[in-house]
Structure 1
Amino acid sequence: MRIQWETAVVTETVGEPWSSHGLQEVRVRLGDGETAAALHDLAVGTPLRPGDEVLLNTTAVRLGLGTGGVHFVHAQLGRLGESVDSPEVSAGTSLRELEAPDRLRSFGPQEGHIMKLRYTSLQRAVLSVEEPSSPYHALFAESRTLSGMPVLIGELHSMLPAAVCWLRELARVAGAPAPRIAYVMTDGGALPLAISGHVRQLRELGWLTGTVTYGHAYGGDVEAVNKYTALLAARHVLEADLAIVCMGPGIVGTGTPYGFSGIEAGELVGAAHALGGVPVAMARISFADPRPQHRGLSRHTVVALGQAALAPACVPLPLLPAEADTALLREQVRQSVLARRHRLLWEAPPPLEQMAAALEAYGQPITSMGRALPDDPAFFAAICTAAGAAYRLLRSEGPDKP
């Protein structure tokens, strides 16, 4: 194990500090004259200014990685010829109070005693929703269920905005209020919620009723210790109609059957089922990905749902326009154990034009592995098909009703 440290000088700040999100983006000049972008966690330091000397963790960039592939400021060393100014934001200040729902504003990390990033130099105390000092402790001191709440489970972070867009489109067509959607972020990818541009956009649009981070992920409107209490918090603290659960940006894969962080999707199926929710799995499907393990129905989906999931889920699958594509999907399912373990729903996906209109309302590009809807329509068709099944469940129509 190794960490690559490098010193640098801040040359400019990019926009205003994301004080309501907990991160600041800056440009830095490294010792060899290279300029690069870096992210600064405002929970561990004051906002940076040009001239500040910083210590960077450059490990992921130097390894050429996508996941974690950016420089991070680990510490402020001072200013050129000066000491660091007095803090404008004290350590532990809740920098997300500006955007938290009114009913959650007293729920700040400075009040808690649960450590995240435990036994590291960046460990931090948060007020976990379950702990005795939490205003919601009594909710978790009793046995509770999800009361049949649909739980949309995905492997990739890019599934989140696409699913939200389609759920809102279905509500618009039905002439119904948009559902109250909570996002539950796992610790399988990025750990700070603030790293997600999609969450920032969804919050600015008012399309999320709140966010929950659990495990060592942090920065949600509500913090939780594990996936079970995170789901219960989505239902009983955020009062969501529906929860979408997936990791933050980034995913770890090794090209081996079980060595990928997305296998957690199977574990989430079990948690949602055990708590009395209805797990609905968003299958990862692509006919544009050049990697054989992700062509058609991703091997990740097959393993997560076939081996890791110890409870049944609703698994909607799209009947794609190209017969050969659907035939491949059916053959991949036949060779797996999915049909024996789960309730598969083969459905015609939404028209491409309607999906495009729903995504356009989001106002920002939605891509997966760099591919947008025109590049990989099957990927988005699978998400929208699953979101449609979850919406029917929410409307008490049943997942297999039109």
Structure 2
Amino acid sequence: MISWRAGAVVQVGRRWSGALELRVALERPVGDGDEVRALAYPALVGEPLVGDRVLLNVAAQARGLGTGGYALVVAVPDRLPPDPPPGPGHLVKARYTPLQAMVLGVDEQESEHHGQLAGADDLADLPVVVADLHSALPAVVAGARWAAATAGRRPPRVAYVMTDGGALPAWFSRTAAALRGAGWLEATVTVGQAFGGDLEAVTVHSGLLAAHRVVRADLVVVAQGPGNLGTGTRWGFSGVGAGEAINAVAVLGGRPVASLRVSGADPRDRHRGVSHHSLTAYGRVALAPADLVVPVAEADDPEREARGALLRRVAEQADDLCPPHRRVDVATGAQLREVLAECPVELSTMGRRLPEDPEAFLAAAAAGVHAESLRTTA
């Protein structure tokens, strides 16, 4: 279940919104190492300093798994943080775990926004892009901003609704922090068991309504946090939630836009072209129709021929999902790729960056381009 280690902080490293990197010398090695890179969430465990003894969860390191390569700080036992000041909020997230956190929900009775959301039931045609992977987020926003600039419109006000399929703390995402810092994201809304966003909500539904009513977003992106879970089976993957999000957007009167998970470089055939995750989530789980965005080559794209076989496969796979979904072709090519290269965060999906798997990001950007075209605000 949990592999525990204790150690001493020997170095304090990078910091971003809600997270702090550390180097920790272990009292007992894990694997072949007696020092690990660790991550602390100061809002949960306090502020570790050099010399502090810390307790770590090193289960992922012991098994050679992901979590971004970090051991996770569970406590600074000899210097516990003070109790939080009294205040409103009784939503408990990561419930009944040792690090359950009590937060103020945007939709709960103690919130100043409760009145706005108590009877809220309509997104009023708000465009909402749904994506499987967290790595799609910056590409979707880049595509939307490029489309707005091309049309002579102001950049869209974007909210990110982060589901609990991947990381639970929003603080784990350097991407979301950097996009917020660059002014590309107006707010992150963490829903379900996820926490640490600018706003907290109980469900995807109430998170969407908060993005509309409280953030006043022009466009919303729904995706899980970093670190999706998959088992190589048809149904055992956390991206199933993408289909459920399509249903939530539709039932609330929004405009669901399905972003396809595409790859031309994944060595696993089930993820080549359109991933089986998208085919299952949109083909079997999503009961409501969505705009299914299919990337196609521009007429003057110098790589049109090289991209041809992959894009034909993507189009054929997408056609199997239509109907009930509505296929929308969006031209992608060198210009959009240049836009992606200028993102304020480095694009990476499953360890592959933009030059290594451009179609993954172009497909997500195409969804952003289409969603911007649906925006009703100037």
Match of 2:301 in 1: none
Letter in 2 for 1:164: V
Instruction: Find the residue that maps to 1:34 and give its secondary structure.
Output: strand
Q: Distance in 1 between matches of 2:146 and 2:129?
A: 16
Match of 1:348 in 2: 331
Shift of 1:372: 2.1
Q: Distance in 2 between matches of 1:345 and 1:168?
A: 19
- Matching of residues 346-385 of structure 1 within 5 Å: 346-349=329-332, 351-352=333-334, 354-385=335-366
Q: Distance in 2 between matches of 1:333 and 1:127?
A: 41
Match of 1:11 in 2: 10
Name the stretch that deviates more: 317-326 or 110-119. Answer: 317-326
Q: Distance in 2 between matches of 1:317 and 1:110?
A: 47
Match of 1:332 in 2: 317
Match of 2:18 in 1: 22
Shift of 1:137: 0.8
Tell me if the contact between 2:182 and 2:344 (Cα under 8 Å) persists in the aligned partners. Answer: no
- In the alignment of these two chains, the number of paired residues is 366
Letter in 1 for 2:367: A
Tell me if the contact between 1:43 and 1:92 (Cα under 8 Å) persists in the aligned partners. Answer: no
Tell me if the contact between 1:68 and 1:190 (Cα under 8 Å) persists in the aligned partners. Answer: no
Letter in 2 for 1:4: S
RMSD, aligned α-carbons: 1.9
Match of 1:390 in 2: 371
Q: CA 1:279–1:77 in 2, change beyond 3 Å: closer, same or farther? A: same
What per-residue deviation string (whole Å, max 9, x for no partner) do you get for residues 51-74 of structure 1? Answer: 111110001121111246420011
Match of 1:60 in 2: 60
Name the stretch that deviates more: 42-51 or 62-71. Answer: 62-71
Match of 2:151 in 1: 174
Match of 1:106 in 2: none
Tell me if the contact between 2:190 and 2:200 (Cα under 8 Å) persists in the aligned partners. Answer: yes
Q: Distance in 2 between matches of 1:155 and 1:298?
A: 10
Match of 1:239 in 2: 216
Instruction: Find the residue that maps to 1:339 and give its secondary structure.
Output: coil
Name the stretch that deviates more: 50-59 or 319-328. Answer: 319-328
Tell me if the contact between 2:44 and 2:101 (Cα under 8 Å) persists in the aligned partners. Answer: no
Greater RCO, CA 8 A, separation 6+: 2
Match of 1:105 in 2: none
- Matching of residues 294-305 of structure 1 within 5 Å: 294-305=271-282
What per-residue deviation string (whole Å, max 9, x for no partner) do you get for residues 239-298 of structure 1? Answer: 101101101111000000000000100000000000000000110111111101101111
Shift of 1:144: 2.6
Q: Distance in 1 between matches of 2:316 and 2:121?
A: 40
Structure 1 stretches of at least 4 aligned residues deviating more than 3 Å after TM superposition: 90-93
Matched, 1:197 2:197: no
- Richer in strand (by share): 2
Match of 2:92 in 1: 115
Q: Distance in 1 between matches of 2:353 and 2:278?
A: 20
Match of 1:92 among 81, 84, 90: 84
Letter in 2 for 1:358: V
Q: Distance in 2 between matches of 1:363 and 1:130?
A: 32
Q: Distance in 2 between matches of 1:367 and 1:251?
A: 14
Q: Distance in 1 between matches of 2:207 and 2:296?
A: 33
TM-score (norm. length: structure 1)? 0.87
Provide the identity percentage. 43
TM-score (norm. length: structure 2)? 0.92
Match of 1:98 in 2: none
